[in-house]
Structure 1
Amino acid sequence: MKFSKYLIPIALTIAVIVSLTLSMVLWTNPANYRSKQNTKQNSQTESMIKPKHYVYTPTQAVYTNSEGDQEILVNELVNVISEIKKTMRDYQKPSISEYRSGSQTDYFKVANRPNSIMLSYPTPVSMKILNANVNNRFKKFPNVTVNRIVLPTDDQTKLYLLNDQDFKVYQVKVKKHSLKALNKVLTMSIWTISATFKLFNNKPLVYVDSSVQMEPYKYLIDRQSEDYYVSRLLNSDDSQNISAKRRKNVVIYGDQNSMQLLFNSKMRMGRFSDYRPNKNKRNITSALNNSYNKLADLGLPLDNVRFFDYDSQSRTVMYRTFVEGFPIFRANGFGTISTRTINASAQRMDFSLDNPEVPIPSKKGYTTLPSTTTMIKRLVNHGYKAKEIAKIQIGYGWRKDSSSPLLINLTPDWYILYNGKWQSYTEMINQY
């Protein structure tokens, strides 16, 4: 009886000692902790990683009706582009030919074809990347670059691939293909935005014709621990040599040889530097394939993450999280994840430590955004130069919520790539 009296205090003391010991081990060298729980977690994570075609998918759909009127298709309940892509996976006996080359008139004639849906990438992709979206039906096609896909809703035998850079148009012929499912997408309860596809600064751009009301969102964010990323990214044969250094808001994990993982708790950002030799060639297909592999290594759910940009000069690939078909921009213009190949022996990946997970009803009313033309005129009137505007995009601005560190507010706004940097239209106006 006397022994049982001390049993619980002794057990608690042992538990505390074990806990403190494990904590010290994790603090000084988290890679030493190899539990079954981590293995199970990584296994579950692998099942959440989406195939390549989920990430490298078009991000905008524009419908042109029989009268030539155009509208951007949006649906809060159904992913419109995913539904359209489902109709593109059974093309039979496809063949490709160059239909038009270098003519802006011919390019826009096809792009604005009545009775068609145009799918657009935010930046060009290669045919081998596009091929993943059509169930490898285009695997024998030349590896040209493509910005847009035009799908006729009244022609069962043709579709078109467009390149914005040189205004090339490729015609793809297929064996008679049912259009029932494609036309069914147009009967869904879809919110549309009146639009016109035309030139801006000698580049094709989808203009929003009139003011548009956008709904703000509040999101619960997902926060993974540092240990999770250490386990995912530094789990190699040399991982037993991992050390950790802390300085104010920054902690750096490294194997003192070829890999380094940095976390900035203030900025809520992570950076993984890999100094092992890489075989990433200087072409877009190699860059995007290699970047996707890095994305998968990170182990984040990719349901709403989409390819957003590729800079061939810096060999940087940018991904953003999309909400209702529109990308999220943070205060510094960063997206969700970016990868960069510096040289043959150095690669880098920057990523956010916070990611939107669960939408929560917002009490804020709708935000009204001006038309594209009005927005550009206002910027010019405030002293900005129209010729310095490279790209224009409706998106959501990421703002912290004052009520909880686990909540963010997503506010609709125009975003402008001005002088090489993505900036909020509202902030640009307010600066003057």
Structure 2
Amino acid sequence: MKLSGLILRVSLTAMVLLSLVFSALIWRNPSRLGRTETDSTLKTTQATGASAQAAYLLVPTSAYYQAAGGKVQLLQPDASSTGQIHETIHDWQLKKINRSVQLSTSALAALLTQQETLQLTFGAPVTFKAFNANYFATPVKNAPDFQFNRMIIDLSGSKPKLTLVEDNTRMSRTATLGKAPLAGLQAYLKKTRPSGLPVQEKRLNGKLMTFYTQGIAVSPYAFLLDQQTANHFVSLLMPTTSTAAVDSRELGDESIYTLGDVRLTLNSSSNVVQFEDPAKTVASKALTTALTKSEAAIAKLNLQGITAMHYFGYEKGSRTVSYRSYAQGLPIFNNLDNGVVQTSSTSSGLTMNFSLDNLTVAIPTSQAKKQLPSTQQVLSELATAGYAQSTIQNICLGYYWRPQTASSQVVDLTPSYFVEINGQYRRYTEWLTPDTAPANRGAVQIIQ
């Protein structure tokens, strides 16, 4: 055999062996199955997200711990305290909900200041039926349906005790707990209590509000922004096999999309969308129904920042349920209703208002904490500006979402007090400006 022939045979054999080796590696490499695995993972993520959204939406918005030294609001950097607490006690078991009792004014005051209690509050009253379906891993069977806005967990004994209270009516129910280990919750409280903000809960115009008893320092935030187009939500809310079936037209600042009687309207100035589906009529006026329908409606939006959005309020007349984005457990406000979703399910159908711009995840920032006055100081400044105490519907600590340019993917959140007057929330400094302050200035009585 010639040398050249030998070399050729050896080369061919080596190439065959290399081919077999590479084939084996390719078959063993998961990236070969990338398309199949990606499709499977995507479907699983979407299904999990849809089923878990209600649990995020109905998580309490504020957490307080009452001890001998007073009450503090728990704020955890880059996370939601109420969300962390929910994860910690999710596997607790409620065995029974006891009969309702109406507390006297003094009894409620004593309960709110009871030592060694963790108190979790919602933005507005919820029903136990909606809460029971989402908060704990195992729902209570055959439980009564009632409204409450506060969970009080007594940690003074070896076993926790749970009381559910509606602040305005003073109706309360105790719950019998089965499996309820305390170690995880106690560890979390030990970590977060030292940095809590001192507070007192006082009534202002009949409503319990959180008063920060001294000047406070709150960290600014930065968030990634999820910006979608109207077409994105058209595909989610108005699915059709033929794109031509969806009619679109421009009318001034509005883009209107219709599919039969279903309509989606985008205001290009504010990026706020209104969706209307007259076929989805609801006869029931019950709050449980409103909450359940709103959860189902929001699930169809597939929002990226759903973990930061919580139940904020309910307007009984229009049956409007409001959800708002939160940062560090504090609500976020701006002038364009970014990060807000409102739903209304009535005999006229479903109406939903939401923004194309929504927050996703927090970004670390090195900005210094912002100093803010006490709540009493804010009320004093409003009084000096001429606002009567009776005009103040609510006052709360939150974040201001400053409008950004259309190309910005990051928003800055600045802490401030927000005051509700005539159904509108504004930073307290905005109410103090000459163009918003009432003309009839003068000293008025404020809560002490």
Q: State the distance in 2 between where 1:290 and 1:161 align.
A: 24
Q: Point out the more displaced range, 407-416 or 172-181.
A: 172-181
- Distance in 1 separating the partners of 2:235 and 2:61: 32
Deviations 1:147-171 (A, max 9, x none): 1000011231521111112112222
Gaps of 5+ in 2: 1-37, 438-448
- Aligned equivalent of 1:269, options 269, 272, 276: 272
Change (3 A) 1:42 1:275: farther
Determine the structure 2 residue equivalent to 1:58.
60
Please say if residues 222 and 355 of structure 1, whose CA atoms lie closer than 8 Å, have aligned partners that are also in contact: yes
Q: Secondary structure at the match of 1:314?
A: coil
Do 1:97 and 1:172's aligned partners in 2 also have CA atoms closer than 8 Å? Answer: no
Quick check: 169-178 or 281-290, which moved more? 169-178
Q: Percent identity?
A: 25
- From the CA coordinates, give the structure whose radius of gyration is larger: 2
Query: Partner letter of residue 109 of structure 1?
Result: A
* Residue pair 1:333, 1:422 contacting (<8 A) in 2 also: no
| 1:200 shift after superposition | 2.0
Query: Do structure 1's residue 193 and structure 2's residue 197 form an aligned pair?
Result: yes
SS at match of 2:168: coil
Q: 1:349 to 1:95 in 2, by over 3 A?
A: closer
Structure 1: gaps spanning 5 or more residues: 1-36
Tell me, in whole angstroms, the C-alpha distance in 2 between the residues paired with 1:98 and 1:357. 40
Matches within 5 A, 1:199-348: 199-236=203-240, 240-255=244-259, 257-301=260-304, 302-332=306-336, 335-341=339-345, 343-348=346-351
Cα distance in 2 for residues equivalent to 1:180 and 1:261 = 49
Distance change in 2, residues 1:273/1:39 (3 Å): farther
RMSD of aligned Cα (Å): 2.6
Q: Residue 53 of structure 2 contacts residue 307 of structure 2 at CA under 8 Å; is this kept in 1? A: no
The residue that corresponds to 1:12 in the other structure is: none
Matched to 1:352, the amino acid is S
Aligned to 2:379: 376
Q: Secondary structure at the match of 1:140?
A: coil
Contact 2:63 2:119 in 1 (8 A): yes
- Secondary structure of 2:224's counterpart equals strand
Length-normalised TM-score, structure 1: 0.84
- Deviation, 1:316, is 0.6
The verdict on how the C-alpha distance between 1:51 and 1:287 changes in structure 2, with shifts beyond 3 A counting, is same
Give the whole-Å Cα distance in 2 for the aligned partners of 1:40 and 1:179.
35
Q: What does residue 120 of structure 1 align with?
A: 121
Aligned counterpart for 1:386 among listed residues 377, 386, 389:
389
- Any conservation in 1 of the 2:78–2:327 contact (CA below 8 Å)? no
2:162 equivalent in structure 1 = 159
User: Once the two structures are superposed, what CA deviation does each residue of 1:120-156 show, in whole Å capped at 9, x if it has no partner?
Assistant: 0010000112212123433432111001000011231
Q: Hey, what's the Cα distance between the residues in 2 that align with 1:284 and 1:267?
A: 30
Aligned equivalent of 1:396: 399
Structure 1 counterpart of 2:136, from 134, 137, 140: 134
Letter in 2 for 1:337: V
What count of residue pairs does the alignment treat as equivalent?
A: 392
Equivalent in the alignment of 1:103: 104
CA distance in 2, matches of 1:330, 1:295: 21
- Corresponding position: 1:148 with 2:150: yes
**Cα offsets for 1:341-365 (capped at 9, x unmatched):** 3x41332111111112243455653
1:76-97 superposed Cα distances (whole Å, 9 cap, x missing partner) = 1553222322325322533412
Q: Quick one: structure 1 residues 348 and 40, their matched pair in 2 at CA, closer, same or farther if it must change by over 3 Å?
A: farther
- Distance between the aligned counterparts of 2:408 and 2:156, measured in 1? 51
Q: Contact (CA 8 Å) 2:272, 2:337: kept in 1 or not?
A: no
Q: Is the 8 A contact 1:154 1:179 kept in 2?
A: no
C-alpha distance 189-180 of structure 1, shift in aligned 2 (>3 A): same
- Work out the CA distance in 2 between the residues paired with 1:92 and 1:274: 38
Letter in 2 for 1:104: T
Is the 1:328–1:395 contact (alpha carbons within 8 Å) kept by the matching residues of 2?
Answer: yes
The aligned residue for residue 28 of structure 2 is: none
2:10 alignment counterpart:
none
User: 1:18 is matched with which residue?
Assistant: none
Change (3 A) 1:424 1:332: farther
Residue pair 1:243, 1:254 contacting (<8 A) in 2 also:
yes
Shift of the 92–294 alpha-carbon distance from structure 1 to 2, 3 Å rule, reads closer
User: How many Å separate the matches in 2 of 1:116 and 1:332?
Assistant: 38
- Partner SS state of residue 225, structure 2: strand
| Alpha-carbon offset, residue 251 of structure 1 | 1.2
Other structure's SS at 1:244 match: strand
Tell me, in whole angstroms, the C-alpha distance in 2 between the residues paired with 1:130 and 1:39. 31
**1:106 is matched by which residue type in structure 2?**
A
Of 173-182 and 118-127, deviating more is 173-182
Change (3 A) 1:92 1:401: closer
- 2:184 corresponds in structure 1 to 181
Distance across 2 between alignment mates of 1:315 and 1:159? 30
Q: Secondary structure at 2:233's aligned position in 1?
A: helix
Which residue number corresponds to residue 430 of structure 1?
Answer: 433
Q: CA deviation at 1:174?
A: 2.4
Distance 1:305 1:92, change over 3 A: closer
Q: For 1:40 and 1:244, locate their aligned partners in 2 and report how far apart those are by CA, in whole Å.
A: 34
Contact kept in structure 2, 1:278 and 1:346, CA below 8 Å = yes
Looking at structure 1, the residues matched to 147 and 315 of structure 2 have their Cα atoms a distance apart, in angstroms, of 14
